[in-house]
Structure 1
């Protein structure tokens, strides 16, 4: 799912779209080729895996029965296709493979995905636009080791990628670590050495753990949400799928990530030697080795360093040592964050999708001395009819949360103050969206209040009890923007 901010529309890669619809199916020849390679009827469909708004165009890619293709469409008329190109290195072949992509303002497409049918050649790849195509080194586990890509962001001179992968630096069995990777947007690759390959790729481990004498690590990053105004990134982390389920929310400052990238590398001379810190040859590096497309100062030594120094020694630490929110026996899959103006301060509200199909609404800690609060659990469906949540988007301008499941999109209004009928219930809910208007004698938002001085709100502690809100069939109404009964795997945009 993605938003078209200009048209105030939600665009969904599924089998239907509310305002306009463009079917995009596989042809029979492509399906036949997919079947001949051992794939099932469900796999050999066209799943939309990339939806990117680029000016007045929509760039979209589909798996197309394991033969990915991409199109540029008119945003206001999705049936109008301007061009069609190969989706290789831009879109996964397998609809189950995790990937991420973005388009910069200058038109370059950055994608992190599997490059081949088998999924054994993952890469961070740049294409389109005016700069030369570049990728991470092929079949080199020190660059990428069976990664699951989570998200990507275009920030200043860099493009950042967040993912989890098998840790090459861990000697005691197979362990997954969470990473942040970074490349310089003006990188044009090497000469002879690292030709068509990034010369600025670096990666660092993200730490989200429960502190103690023996820290309890949440190693597997599942989702992120970036607040650009605060340069703050929220991440949700879980335990390994083969261990007891547990989840945590950690927040990271962009400055902490930059600090790790400026520090020493973690380097292994050969497969039998230990991983040791190695001084950063250029600690003040700010995408400055390449000037206006020429190879100024890009020496052979620079390229040799770029080829072997990838992993940073210092782990990126969260804003506070203790995770913002932790819970056992559940795995969070998606996260969205809203910044809410309360009576006295700004509050961060974290929305977390659970693996059993509900939404947790959590108040982020106000400071280092206070903890987080679970404000409510939003039930989208009756308990026996819950569905897996596929996507979670927040539209800040309208205070709406959009939840994508297999056969529908649900819109949840974030401000539901009218649910609280008394002053005690309104103030006691500790909901930053709501306060008691002493003149109107009802629970309102700050915008609806007559005067702020007559608007009562107290959020110094957590509510006495958590509220479970019946989302689809009770206290508040949620409605489907798009739903269907087709259980197959076809998809349109």
Structure 2
């Protein structure tokens, strides 16, 4: 129900009109779903679907009832609450959002706005750059903004197959001139390999969640497969991601040709520095042509260990957070893995084969008899607490529950 402030003239928004016209939509889809929520310094930046008319606001930490700024949410937040999206605000105050830009959901983009850099996006309606992607996570790391997603693989010519990807762009990218105007000139993407090794490897192709562990330069990912109800957790070093981006590209000469490896014209690419003469001076016609056609890496990013950290053949994982615990002998990575049935599995990420796949605990956070997927997991190290997002509430679970163990043994 819309409430009007005193002095305002009631008027219907384009989003509300869409919901009236599309009367077959469930009524709950025409509410305001917050899809972007970022704490940056003392400000909270949030975007909501707003009845299919996206809006973003900035608020002060500690006073969320007062709106400091309100801006259009298009290209920063999806129209539809069911569309996957992710976003991150860089240390320079720029918003990097991966979402769908149009009402129909057919124009996915990685889009930069706010801050001092010019607005840039991925190539529009170009399925080779992004092919029906589901965006999972975004991180500001060093010179780059990284995006983790799954999408239909254009290079796979034997039926429709989903691949998991990591994509990146340079934060100092200013776009092209004549070619790639208002478009990234540094966009690259590589496949993430999470599989069980063997004569015929078993691939977990569908990335569901990612977690950045900056202390260890690691990215953990939750992967599933649409073949059977199987799940895995794999870890990737940032150095392995860089190695894949420094390797050869995979290129298709024409729409009917095979995707073949091609040498990387700029190995060990690290964004570089923009010359004082102007931000576009280092962009030649040749370099822009290369940027337009060379974006898919030939080699996949390999995980830290040949086998996944955790696998499960009968459960679908959905979310993941990681805690660092210092024991007497070593530093342990403790994984909290959310499942589609609403439980949380606690496991160790370790090189020891005897401990691999061994669950420390299974947490039942829902009331008896209730089964539903967890919406989100967040870990607050300072409070030693795990926050669990449900459809109608948020739960706080202590990371240490020593009282549950009745004896030292």
TM-score bracket for the superposition, by shorter chain length: over 0.9
Q: Which residue of 2 aligns with 1:420?
A: 405
> Does residue 162 of the first structure (1) align with residue 170 of the second (2)?
no
Q: Which residue of 1 aligns with 2:3?
A: none
For the residue of structure 1 that corresponds to 2:19, the secondary structure is helix
Among 249, 252, 267, which residue is 2:236 paired with?
252
- Structure 2 CA distance for aligned equivalents of residues 234 and 394 of structure 1: 14
- Structure 1 CA distance for aligned equivalents of residues 84 and 63 of structure 2: 28
> Does residue 178 of the first structure (1) align with residue 164 of the second (2)?
yes
- Structure 1 CA distance for aligned equivalents of residues 91 and 408 of structure 2: 48
TM-score by length of 2: 0.94
Among 371, 378, 381, which residue is 1:393 paired with?
378
- Structure 2 CA distance for aligned equivalents of residues 41 and 227 of structure 1: 39
State the number of aligned residues. Answer: 397
For the residue of structure 1 that corresponds to 2:290, the secondary structure is helix
| 1:309-324 mapped onto 2 (5 Å cutoff) | 309-324=294-309
Q: Is the 8 A contact 2:348 2:355 kept in 1?
A: no
Q: Deviations over 1:39-76 (max 9, x none)?
A: 33111110011111122221110001111011111222
For the residue of structure 1 that corresponds to 2:16, the secondary structure is helix
Q: Where in structure 1 are there 5+ consecutive unaligned residues?
A: 1-25, 425-493
- Structure 2 CA distance for aligned equivalents of residues 86 and 277 of structure 1: 42
- Structure 2 CA distance for aligned equivalents of residues 169 and 358 of structure 1: 36
Q: Is the 8 A contact 1:336 1:392 kept in 2?
A: yes
Q: Is the 8 A contact 2:167 2:189 kept in 1?
A: yes
Q: Once the 2 structures are TM-superposed, how far is the Cα of residue 380 of structure 1 from its aligned partner?
A: 1.1
Q: Deviations over 1:146-179 (max 9, x none)?
A: 0000000000000000000000000010000000
> Does residue 101 of the first structure (1) align with residue 119 of the second (2)?
no
Question: Structure 2 vs 1, CA of residues 279 and 168 (structure 1 numbering), >3 Å: closer, same or farther?
Answer: same
Q: Once the 2 structures are TM-superposed, how far is the Cα of residue 258 of structure 1 from its aligned partner?
A: 0.2
- Structure 1 CA distance for aligned equivalents of residues 335 and 172 of structure 2: 34
For the residue of structure 1 that corresponds to 2:30, the secondary structure is coil
Q: Once the 2 structures are TM-superposed, how far is the Cα of residue 366 of structure 1 from its aligned partner?
A: 4.0
Q: Which residue of 1 aligns with 2:291?
A: 306
| 1:256-267 mapped onto 2 (5 Å cutoff) | 256-267=240-251
Question: Structure 2 vs 1, CA of residues 330 and 372 (structure 1 numbering), >3 Å: closer, same or farther?
Answer: closer
Among 364, 372, 383, which residue is 2:349 paired with?
364
- Structure 1 CA distance for aligned equivalents of residues 267 and 83 of structure 2: 35
TM-score by length of 1: 0.78
Greater Cα radius of gyration, structure 1 or 2: 1
Q: Deviations over 1:240-287 (max 9, x none)?
A: 2xx211000000000000000001001110112111111111102111
Question: Structure 2 vs 1, CA of residues 370 and 78 (structure 1 numbering), >3 Å: closer, same or farther?
Answer: closer
Among 83, 92, 97, which residue is 1:111 paired with?
97
Q: Which residue of 1 aligns with 2:78?
A: 92
- Structure 2 CA distance for aligned equivalents of residues 27 and 159 of structure 1: 39
Question: Structure 2 vs 1, CA of residues 368 and 300 (structure 1 numbering), >3 Å: closer, same or farther?
Answer: farther
Q: Which residue of 2 aligns with 1:238?
A: 224
- Structure 1 CA distance for aligned equivalents of residues 11 and 200 of structure 2: 56
Question: Structure 2 vs 1, CA of residues 368 and 278 (structure 1 numbering), >3 Å: closer, same or farther?
Answer: farther
Q: Which residue of 2 aligns with 1:285?
A: 269
Q: Is the 8 A contact 1:263 1:280 kept in 2?
A: yes
Q: Which residue of 2 aligns with 1:268?
A: 252
Q: Is the 8 A contact 2:311 2:357 kept in 1?
A: no
Question: Structure 2 vs 1, CA of residues 48 and 375 (structure 1 numbering), >3 Å: closer, same or farther?
Answer: same
Q: Once the 2 structures are TM-superposed, how far is the Cα of residue 398 of structure 1 from its aligned partner?
A: 1.8
Q: Which residue of 1 aligns with 2:185?
A: 199
Q: Where in structure 2 are there 5+ consecutive unaligned residues?
A: 1-9
Q: Is the 8 A contact 2:231 2:311 kept in 1?
A: yes
- Structure 2 CA distance for aligned equivalents of residues 27 and 200 of structure 1: 43
The answer to which structure, 1 or 2, has the higher relative contact order (CA under 8 A, 6+ apart) is 1
Q: Which residue of 2 aligns with 1:379?
A: 364
- Structure 1 CA distance for aligned equivalents of residues 37 and 259 of structure 2: 40
Q: Once the 2 structures are TM-superposed, how far is the Cα of residue 289 of structure 1 from its aligned partner?
A: 6.5
Q: Once the 2 structures are TM-superposed, how far is the Cα of residue 381 of structure 1 from its aligned partner?
A: 2.1
Superposed CA RMSD: 1.5
Q: Which residue of 1 aligns with 2:319?
A: 334
